A and B are shown apart, each in its own frame.
Chain A
Amino acid sequence: MRLRRTSTAAAAALLLAFLCGCRQKMAEGDLYDLPAALRSGLPYPVLQWKIITTEVDRNTCTMATLFGDDAAVEAARAGIAYPAGAVLGLVTWRESEDPHWFGARIPGRPVSVEFVIVGRGVDETFTGTPWREAPGSMAEQIRQMRPTPVP
């Protein structure tokens, strides 16, 4: 009787351990690209915008993605000049190896975010942790970036 009770308890414990194992919470780092998170303090919600294009620089091992507000994206896709007031945001990340795909690189640590406000004549760039603001230096290159061909 005692043996039966012991074995029942052992079986229950095993089952419980198995169920707990199945429901083990995954680490956040296995679910999200945490290092690439954009810290607080940017003047525009750049990740809420649509993508215009993305580029890679093998020399600096960086990946830069150009976002734009609705006015900017519309103009970029239509192939016309950006209207005054349109805002472009170029986010540059250091590349990091994709843990899920050998041969792929994904955004790692953010390097800078540069905003161009068309028609204002000045643009601003944010770098460092936390963001430090400085005059932008790539306004012209950012304006020249062509949108990716999408359906």
Chain B
Amino acid sequence: MFASVEGFLFAHWDTPWPDSRRQAWRHLPVEAAAHPGPDTHPGGWRGMMKADPMVRARRGLGALALVLAAALALQAIRPSLGSPAGAQVEVAVPPQVREILVRRCYACHSDQPRLVWWDQVAPVYWVAASDVQRARRVLNFSELGGQSLARQRAALYESVDQIQLGAMPLRLYLLGHPHSGVMAQELATLKAYLAPFRPADLPGDTSESAAAGPEALTSPPAPQQPVGPSPNGTPFLPGFANWKVITTVDRGDDHTLRIITGNDIAIRAIQARQLPSWPEGAAFASIAWQAVDDGHGHLRPGKFLQVEFMEKHRIQFAGAEGWGFARFVGNRLRPYGNGPHFDNECLGCHAPVKKNDFVFSLPLPRGPEAKGAESKGPEAKGPEATSPGTGPRGAEGAER
């Protein structure tokens, strides 16, 4: 009967096309659409109000008012960011360093939080307040001065690490606060102040020996088994000194020498170039000694300070990114940490190297080609060996 749907819908209408089309789109019968009213409307009052723009606008305004009222009410829920109970002893640093810390870090890591206006509006305020509280728990420059100089320096070193590895300021914070990042010049000033390899510092007060407690400062060690595992359940791993080397570290920040060793699983992963994902059961030991200078710039390992372990068990240590962290301190190998969640401290420090599976050490390369090459071969002695570029790793010899 009708050639098209439109033909059917508009056949008896004399209203202009666009309006009638709009009505048709709402699937109203032609008669009802032409004379809408509660009695004639097929949906009754409800249907008519749906269609009435005024009613809809009024409803929208009402909803908006409700949302606004709720948002205003939410502003009343404000966790306090008043000064914490800790003693107010500011970190002891020169003015130019303090200025940088105030400008770049104090907004969260101090008892004088600086929130811009949009930080003040809930729910953003709740995120900001939670961040500030968490930041203070980790590091509070307003109270850091109450700790030993070694600990203050260690905190500053860690701060520089977090900044240069891009972990601080937090990405989310930078999104909300553009231009708040630490400038290269500011980072250089912090580094120049810390000057880890300044000769006058050797041998000096070390954070590690301070952390190790008095027993570490006694005569040369003969450490036995510790009294128990780490509070998070990570066991002491005997035999770590017989593991193969991962790397060695000269720590100017705390005047220690360290040897990092790895168990067979870890070494195999290096040989197989499996990184960054370390396999289940891989374990490292970071063994630290106080660095002793003979007065001529030759440093040798002195007192044994501690051994730290990382052992990969994805399920057992699921709460710590799959790593069991442990530290056994001093000659008595005292397990470090209070409570099973002490490893939050470890994780916080290791977080900037998340892309390396939370492992700081860059292992010395090992591989099938290196293994084969390490056997005595005629090419090592022959005159042809003097030509450059022989050996699969020749190209890798450049200084980083």
Contacts and interface: CB of A to CB of B under 8 A. Distances in A.
A59 interface: yes
Given A48-B374, A130-B385, A130-B391, A105 B396 contact: no
B112 to A, nearest CB: 26
Contacts of B165: 100
B386 A132 contact: yes
Nearest to B352: A100
Given A100-B356, A130-B385, A148-B301, A37 B364 contact: yes
B310 interface: no
B272 to A, nearest CB: 12
A39 B370 CA distance: 7
A150 B297 contact: no
Interface residues of B, number: 87
B374 A103 contact: no
Chain A, interface size category, equals 35 or more
Nearest to A42: B374
Contact of A103 (B252, B303, B364, B376): B252
B364 A36 contact: yes
B160 interface: yes
Interface string A99-110: 111111111111
Contacts of B375: 45
Interface in B272-331: 273, 275-276, 287, 289, 291, 293, 296-301, 303-304, 307
B287 to A, nearest CB: 6
Contact of B377 (A41, A58, A151): A41
A143 interface: no
Contact of A96 (B366, B376, B399): B399
Contact of B157 (A33, A40, A56, A102): A102
- Most chain B CB within 10 A, of A26, A101, A133, is at A101
B250 A95 contact: yes
Given A47-B364, A149-B289, A39 B299 contact: no
**Secondary structure of the B side of the interface?**
mixed
Contacts of A31: 275-276, 356, 362
Contacts of B348: none
Contacts of B197: 58, 103, 105
B259 A54 contact: yes
Contact of A39 (B245, B261, B386, B397): B397
Contact of B252 (A42, A54, A104): A104
A30 interface: yes
A132 B199 CA distance: 34
Contacts of B242: 50
Interface in B134-180: 157, 160-161, 164-165
A98 B157 CA distance: 13
B369 interface: yes
A109 B362 contact: no
A105 B245 contact: no
Contacts of A151: 221-224, 238, 240-241, 304, 307, 333
A90 interface: no
A51 B381 CA distance: 27
A28 B395 CA distance: 13
Contact of B276 (A26, A104, A110): A26
B394 A130 contact: yes
A50 B244 CA distance: 6
Contact of A105 (B161, B252, B307, B392): B252
A48 to B, nearest CB: 7
Contacts of A148: 259, 287, 289, 301, 304
A47 B399 CA distance: 20
Nearest to B377: A41
Given A47-B374, A110-B397, A151-B307, A32 B380 contact: no
B251 A104 contact: yes
Given A44-B374, A47-B245, A105-B249, A150 B364 contact: no
A109 B289 CA distance: 24
- Most chain B CB within 10 A, of A43, A96, A99, A130, is at A130
Q: Rank and list the top 9 A-B pairs by shortest CB-CB distance, nearest first.
A: A40-B373, A103-B253, A41-B380, A103-B196, A58-B297, A40-B391, A151-B223, A150-B241, A56-B299
8 contacts: A31-B275, A37-B396, A39-B394, A40-B393, A47-B245, A53-B300, A56-B291, A132-B386
Given A151-B224, A151-B240, 13 more contacts: A40-B374, A41-B391, A44-B376, A47-B370, A56-B250, A56-B299, A100-B161, A101-B161, A101-B251, A105-B252, A106-B362, A132-B386, A149-B301
Interface of B: 157, 160-161, 164-165, 191, 194, 196-197, 199, 202, 220-224, 238, 240-242, 244-245, 247-254, 257, 259, 261, 270, 273, 275-276, 287, 289, 291, 293, 296-301, 303-304, 307, 333, 352-353, 355-356, 360-366, 369-377, 379-381, 385-386, 388, 390-394, 396-400
